Structure 1
Amino acid sequence: MSKITPSETDRRFIRHALALARRGLGRVWPNPAVGCVLVKEDAVIAVGWTRPGGRPHAERVALDAAGDAARGATAYVSLEPCSHHGKTPPCADALVAAGVARVVAACTDPDPRVSGRGLARLRDAGVAVTEGVLAEEARDLNAGFFSRITRNRPWVRMKVASTLDGRIATAAGESKWITGARARAEGHRLRAEADAVLTGAGTLAADDPLLTARLPGFAARQPVRIVLEGRAPVSAAARLWKTAADSPVWLVSARRDAERDARLAALGVRCLTAAAGADGRPDIAAVLEMLAGEGLTRLLLEAGARLNAAFLAADAVDAVSWFRAPALIGGDGMPGIAPFGLGPLAEMPRFRLVRRLPLDGDALEDYQRET
């Protein structure tokens, strides 16, 4: 079968599929967030995106919406249709059974149960296949799913809100509020697109955060809220524990405390034990592997200077969202990142700027780790 070159029309409808897929971010783990657009005679006849919990898949949603009109249509999907039997039948088979004439896929699925088999199944059934349309954008959107499959850990975004000189609080610990309302709203959006938000016991004690996405219309888009306990015990009076019935709260610690765990479990908190590092604190690599095993793909790190440094020292930061206020505190203020043992300058982690967003005087700078 001759190869079909992607057209501007293909790119336009894949962009549509990617936009649909984004609606599932933070809600579909451990599955990828996928969008599907069914097109016939250059008109959209149905759309779908992965539903909360990862099922039904985007293709199934779109096919059900289209019904018999799917016969002869082109399906634009942001990720290769699955080919394995899980809790639902393979989407590749569903597309074949519906009589779809062509499938345009942004990128292949890294899951070894799929990884080219879905597209091969379509080709074997006589469906025309075009792949690799806006592949980089598709992989970026599902960076968390790709990370969990290929690296056995979630993709990690570190969030920092600071002054121009990188200070997150005064010497006395005052930090509310360095940035303004629009910047804080954007931070809530980041929470809503994450599977989980992780903070440390120190931040829990100092700020007593809820770590929820508090924006209009976002009530159903709440991340798992994770507290990482170091050598010092977590605060027993934190508001977070009392809200575990509203959205999940996990405590991750390197030590067991039967009385404490039982008390938190009664509130609905899930207590997990991670391997300790040489300093007695939870080993970051072990924590991330455990979280991947729980199905998490996208982790937002909202922590203090020491935990930010620990993640950087473990080479576990994939992206940075740095909110900057046009103000200065000075060297006696608290830095956003503590020392993390950097040696030669050549070894410092490097990131590339991918976006700068003005926010009513503040600014958000998004960075991706250089590979």
Structure 2
Amino acid sequence: MTHKVADERYMAAAIRLANWNVGLTAQNPSVGAIIVSKDNEKIVGHGVTAPSGRPHAELQALEMAGSQAQDGTAYVTLEPCAHYGKTPPCAYALVNAGIKRVVIAFLDPDKRVNGQGVAILENAGISITKHIQTHQAFETLSAYLIRKIYHRPEVTLKMAVSADGGIGLIGKGHVKISNHMSHAYNHLLRARNDAIMIGVKTIIADNPELTCRLPGLSNRSPARIIVDPHLRIPLGSHIIKTAHEIPTYVFSYEESSSSKVANILKKKDVKLFFFPKKDNKIMPEDMLSILSSLDISSLLIEGGTYTAYSFLNDHLVDKINLFQSNLNLGGKLIKAPDFDNILIDFKKINEARFDEDCYSEWRCDTKCLRELSRI
């Protein structure tokens, strides 16, 4: 097997491992690592960043490989760390294990690493190959990489659209559009994101819980972000009633900071952030800055056309997850955004069928991947 073929094959395996724990590793990225034998013929160790972020993938893979790591090759989706934290740097662990070659998808833009892991390996005489399977690896690391480079969370817009182009019916509250399979997958998307955002109109109309209700994943409900400029959120809504169980944040105008509702919400364990009014709205960039300061790396926007357009118009949507139903709602539609035009600037990266529903994922042609591929 040639190096090129082997590199593609083994890095693909490391990427599949990394995908297991996306959304589970706190502020750390979900990294996959594979240790391949000296003859390059078999995998002798593998690991993925553990839930909560420790131990790192490389340490798990090396422990599994044991003495078989000697003169072997390590495939890692992100540059091994070079800084001392709760454990010594993974780069030194690879050196001490006798690894002779390391293949990496991306260098780590974290200022504590940023090429220093590679430097440790090269100084020890280890051969380095970079930028293998970058497009595939990016999908498991995108939230981490975007936050490190742009100092904001990765933003995913999720929307379910009926066959007649609606996302709801005016004055009808919650309207079922997607089938049960799509609904279940949407809950998986929630589990894979750090936070979920909706506008207050959606709460008033639908009274959602915004939790993950899949068996075994109920503890993965994301933090809930409510955009409510005038603090109109119903105090008896599901979200407010459960704010003591799930982190809940309300974003409002500065002028609402001393209101009676603000004081009540604080007593109900809701965290409030107040923003200046600009162009008659709370600026999406300001909200993302706050979320980044809260160590939120991935944001799923579920709420309404107004919230969607706010982020789309400011070019702050990185991904779109679109559920398209064959159901006609009829009546007075709440019209969906014009995805025919919006998706011109996006590339389809995944699609699936959930019975009669069509699901697709779209990635914005962002400069992030191009920048990473040059370093």
Deviation at 1:140, TM superposition (A): 2.8
Inter-partner Cα distance in structure 2 for 1:331 and 1:318? 32
Task: Provide the residue aligned with 1:342 in structure 2.
Answer: none
TM-score norm. by structure 1 comes to: 0.88
**Could you tell which deviates more after superposition, 23-32 or 319-328?**
23-32
Task: Provide the residue aligned with 2:155 in structure 1.
Answer: 156
Deviation at 1:162, TM superposition (A): 1.3
Contact 2:347 2:362 in 1 (8 A): yes
Task: Provide the residue aligned with 2:358 in structure 1.
Answer: 363
Over 3 Å counting, the alpha-carbon distance change for 1:329 and 1:262 in structure 2 is: same
Task: Provide the residue aligned with 1:143 in structure 2.
Answer: 142
Do structure 1's residue 276 and structure 2's residue 273 form an aligned pair? no
Task: Provide the residue aligned with 1:316 in structure 2.
Answer: 316
1:299-310 aligned at under 5 Å gives the runs 299-310=299-310
Task: Provide the residue aligned with 1:30 in structure 2.
Answer: 27
Structure 2 SS opposite 1:142: helix
Task: Provide the residue aligned with 1:117 in structure 2.
Answer: 116
Contact 2:32 2:76 in 1 (8 A): yes
Contact 1:353 1:368 in 2 (8 A): yes
Deviation at 1:45, TM superposition (A): 2.5
Deviation at 1:301, TM superposition (A): 0.4
1:9-48 aligned at under 5 Å gives the runs 9-40=6-37, 41=39, 42-48=41-47
1:207-258: CA deviations, max 9, x gaps? 1111122222323332222212223522211112232344322222233247
Over 3 Å counting, the alpha-carbon distance change for 1:121 and 1:164 in structure 2 is: same
Contact 2:231 2:261 in 1 (8 A): no
Deviation at 1:84, TM superposition (A): 2.3
Task: Provide the residue aligned with 1:333 in structure 2.
Answer: 333
Over 3 Å counting, the alpha-carbon distance change for 1:149 and 1:275 in structure 2 is: farther
Over 3 Å counting, the alpha-carbon distance change for 1:22 and 1:260 in structure 2 is: farther
Inter-partner Cα distance in structure 1 for 2:92 and 2:266? 43
Contact 2:170 2:333 in 1 (8 A): yes
* 5+ long unaligned stretches in structure 1: 339-344
Inter-partner Cα distance in structure 1 for 2:263 and 2:64? 47
Structure 1 SS opposite 2:106: coil
Inter-partner Cα distance in structure 2 for 1:125 and 1:174? 63
Contact 2:231 2:252 in 1 (8 A): no
Over 3 Å counting, the alpha-carbon distance change for 1:33 and 1:330 in structure 2 is: same
* 5+ long unaligned stretches in structure 2: 367-375
Inter-partner Cα distance in structure 1 for 2:71 and 2:221? 39
Deviation at 1:203, TM superposition (A): 0.9
TM-score norm. by structure 2 comes to: 0.88
Inter-partner Cα distance in structure 2 for 1:232 and 1:260? 7
1:8-87 aligned at under 5 Å gives the runs 8-40=5-37, 41=39, 42-87=41-86
* Aligned-partner residue type, residue 55 of structure 1: R
Structure 1 SS opposite 2:29: coil
Inter-partner Cα distance in structure 1 for 2:209 and 2:282? 22
1:143-168: CA deviations, max 9, x gaps? 11121111121111101111123201
Contact 1:275 1:286 in 2 (8 A): no
**Could you tell which deviates more after superposition, 304-313 or 234-243?**
234-243
Structure 1 SS opposite 2:233: coil
* Aligned-partner residue type, residue 238 of structure 1: S
Do structure 1's residue 352 and structure 2's residue 347 form an aligned pair? yes
**Could you tell which deviates more after superposition, 351-360 or 154-163?**
351-360
Task: Provide the residue aligned with 1:234 in structure 2.
Answer: 233
Deviation at 1:86, TM superposition (A): 3.6
* Aligned-partner residue type, residue 112 of structure 1: K
Aligned-pair RMSD on alpha carbons? 2.6
How many percent of aligned residue pairs carry the same amino acid? 33
**Could you tell which deviates more after superposition, 266-275 or 302-311?**
266-275
Inter-partner Cα distance in structure 2 for 1:283 and 1:147? 19
Do structure 1's residue 201 and structure 2's residue 196 form an aligned pair? no
